[in-house]
């Protein structure tokens, strides 16, 4: 086991500034981040106290920590914030992305915690909300070194231990970390999905269009985008059979973002294949992109450290347009940029890839009836470059309905 004070193992060419001292001179106020590879990071606790386990991942978001923490896609993940100071805007009651306002991250790892809250919408501080919801955090960690370590070694099982739990033998803590369920092969959408269907009505004049949205871990801003277009959204639990959603007479079907390994989502793949066979317009994002890909015959795999941030460049190979996108995923589709391939539902293509590493970022049927992207066009948090995808789906549903009625 390699133990470092406030940093991960470094080579001789790496800076050692983060190794000069233990930031925690008070043993009773101790916090440890323990990685399954044996790395140990010292810090100070904030939020709730105790032990939390999960997969250590990093996000490069400079803003939007509240939206990140309430995104159900982060279920069972210990999120490392690459931005050096967190908490300065506090916590409000408007920016939560989970329907029940729940924090879904398993734990939070940061460098500096803002000493004050400075935002007119803030109702309380970040540590107060974390304590209220039982979410454990560690601060004072050299997150720059930690992010580099995760980029080099990949996302890894980890645990945050605070207070009395941090005083236990390191061998015991490491055993807890290594014995947790791995993210690969984890079926988590059922943990975060709604239990019963619910409806989000239009905020503007209704268009008469209805979309059925599968909640794989849906963000609240997604049905809001449909609502702003006059579309009625019926949100249904993950794995709802196609036969059950037909009662809503959907003009389109949407599959949301969500956590876990898409290779476990066989029921959702079957449901989407039924949607495609029925020639109902389809739109998917993030997990939904992987589900559509699988329905078209593609395979998925786990990325080394994933894409998590709000500045990821993606190219559309059909017109060369580049969008800066918000992303949060640890799995991806296997495919080649711009490649056409045959499916049971007609010709399809890989429409988008990431300019950083070539990862598949979008697929579509060439007849236009189904498309998906790996990123988050609802932009919560993040840039709005991809937001027109909601209008594109609206126009597809409206055109298809007109054809059906004509």
| CATH number of the domain that residue 97 is part of | 3.50.30.20
- 351 pLDDT more than 80: yes
The per-residue pLDDT for 5 is 41
| 289/330 same-domain check | yes
Q: Is the pLDDT of residue 18 over 80?
A: no
Convert the pLDDT of each residue in 27-40 to its tens digit: 558 999 999 999 99
Please determine, for residue 102, whether its predicted confidence score (pLDDT) is greater than 50: yes
183 falls within a domain: no
pLDDT exceeds 90 at position 304: yes
263 and 366 fall within a common domain: yes
The rounded distance, in Å, linking the Cα atoms of 239 and 265 is 8
Residues 212 and 143 in one domain: no
239 versus 19: which is more confidently predicted? 239
286: annotated active-site residue: yes
Read off the pLDDT of each residue in 107-125 and give the average, rounded to a whole number.
96
Task: For residue range 246-255, list pLDDT tens digits in order.
Answer: 999 999 999 9
Q: Determine the 3-state secondary structure of 22 from DSSP.
A: coil
Residues 127 and 267 in one domain: no
Whether 258 and 282 map to the same domain: the answer is: yes
Q: Where is the domain boundary, 114, 145, 178?
A: 178
- Any idea of the CA torsion for 68, 102, 52, 48, to the nearest 10 degrees? 100
Q: Which residue out of 8, 61, 286, 354 is catalytically annotated?
A: 286
Q: Per mean pLDDT, which range of 135-139, 169-173, 264-268, 376-380 is the poorest?
A: 376-380
Q: What is the Rg, in whole angstroms, of the alpha carbon atoms belonging to the chain? A: 22
Report the CATH number that the domain containing residue 343 is assigned in CATH.
3.40.50.880
Residue 263 lies in a domain: yes
**H helices present in 30-169, as ranges:** 65-69, 126-133, 143-153
Last-in-domain residue among 118, 153, 178: 178
Domain assignment present for residue 250? The answer is yes
Verify that 214 and 317 share a domain, yes or no.
yes
What are the helix (H) ranges across 134-183? 143-153, 170-178
Residue 98 lies in a domain: yes
Residues 137 and 256 in one domain: no
Looking at residues 54-80, what average pLDDT do you find? 96
Active site residue 376: yes
Q: 244 and 167 in one domain?
A: no
Indicate whether 30 belongs to any domain.
yes
Query: pLDDT > 90: what percent of the chain?
Result: 88
160 lies in the same domain as 241:
no
**Cα–Cα distance between 264 and 185 in angstroms, integer?**
6
Is 283 assigned a ligand-binding role in the annotation? Answer: no
73 is in an annotated binding site: yes
Answer yes or no: is pLDDT of 324 > 90.
yes
Residue 380 has pLDDT above 80, yes or no: no
> Does residue 184 sit within a domain?
no
- Is pLDDT of 17 > 50? no
Of the three residues 136, 157, 178, the one that is the final residue of a domain is: 178
Does 406 count as an annotated binding residue?
no
Q: Are 56 and 204 part of one and the same domain?
A: no
Any binding-site annotation on 290?
yes
Do 64 and 139 lie in a common domain?
yes
Rounded mean pLDDT of 196-205? Answer: 95
Q: List the domain range (segments joined by +) for residue 368.
A: 189-405
User: Could you give the 3-state DSSP secondary structure of residue 127?
Assistant: helix
254 among annotated binding-site residues: no
Residues 171, 233, single domain; the answer is no
Average pLDDT of the residues of the chain: 92
**134 known member of a binding site:** no
Average pLDDT over residues 213-230: 96
Q: Binding residue per annotation — 328?
A: yes
Indicate if 378 belongs to the active site: yes
In total, how many domains does the chain have?
2
Rounding to the nearest 10 degrees, give the CA dihedral for residues 124, 127, 132, 134.
Answer: 160
Q: Is 258 annotated as a binding residue?
A: yes
| Residue 307, H or E segment | strand 300-316
């Amino acid at each position: 086991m390699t133990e470092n004070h406030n940093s991960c193992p470094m080579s001789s060419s790496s800076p050692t500034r983060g190794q000069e001292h233990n930031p925690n001179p008070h043993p009773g106020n101790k916090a440890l981040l323990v990685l399954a590879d044996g790395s140990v990071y010292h810090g100070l606790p904030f939020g709730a106290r105790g032990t939390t386990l999960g997969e250590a991942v990093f996000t490069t978001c400079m803003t939007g920590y509240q939206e990140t923490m309430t995104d159900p896609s982060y279920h069972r993940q210990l999120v490392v914030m690459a931005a050096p100071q967190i908490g300065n805007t506090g916590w409000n009651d408007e920016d939560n992305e989970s329907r029940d306002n729940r924090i879904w991250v398993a734990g939070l790892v940061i460098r500096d915690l803002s000493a004050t809250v400075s935002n007119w919408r803030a109702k309380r501080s970040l540590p107060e909300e974390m304590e209220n919801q039982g979410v454990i955090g560690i601060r004072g960690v050299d997150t720059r070194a930690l992010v580099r370590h995760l980029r080099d070694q990949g996302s890894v099982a980890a645990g945050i231990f605070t207070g009395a739990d941090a005083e236990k033998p390191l061998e015991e803590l490491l055993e807890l970390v290594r014995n947790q369920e791995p993210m690969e092969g984890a079926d988590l959408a059922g943990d975060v999905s709604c239990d019963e269907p619910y409806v989000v009505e239009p905020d503007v004049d209704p268009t008469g269009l209805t979309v059925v949205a599968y909640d794989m871990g849906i963000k609240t801003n997604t049905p809001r985008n449909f609502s702003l277009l006059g579309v009625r959204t019926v949100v249904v639990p993950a794995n709802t059979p196609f036969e059950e959603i037909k009662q809503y007479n959907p003009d389109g079907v949407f599959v949301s973002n969500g956590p876990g390994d898409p290779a476990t989502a066989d029921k959702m793949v079957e449901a989407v294949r039924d949607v495609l066979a029925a020639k109902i317009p389809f739109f998917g994002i993030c997990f939904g992109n992987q589900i559509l890909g699988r329905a078209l015959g593609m395979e998925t795999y786990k990325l080394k450290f994933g894409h998590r941030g709000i500045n990821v460049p993606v190219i559309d190979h059909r017109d060369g347009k580049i969008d800066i996108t918000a992303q949060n995923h640890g799995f991806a589709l296997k495919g080649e940029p711009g490649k056409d391939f045959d499916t049971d539902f007609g010709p399809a293509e890989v429409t988008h890839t990431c300019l950083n590493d070539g990862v598949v970022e979008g697929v579509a049927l060439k007849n236009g009836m189904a498309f998906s992207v790996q990123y988050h066009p609802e932009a919560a948090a993040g840039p709005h470059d991809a937001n027109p995808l909601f209008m594109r789906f609206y126009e597809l549903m409206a055109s298809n309905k007109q054809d059906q009625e004509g």
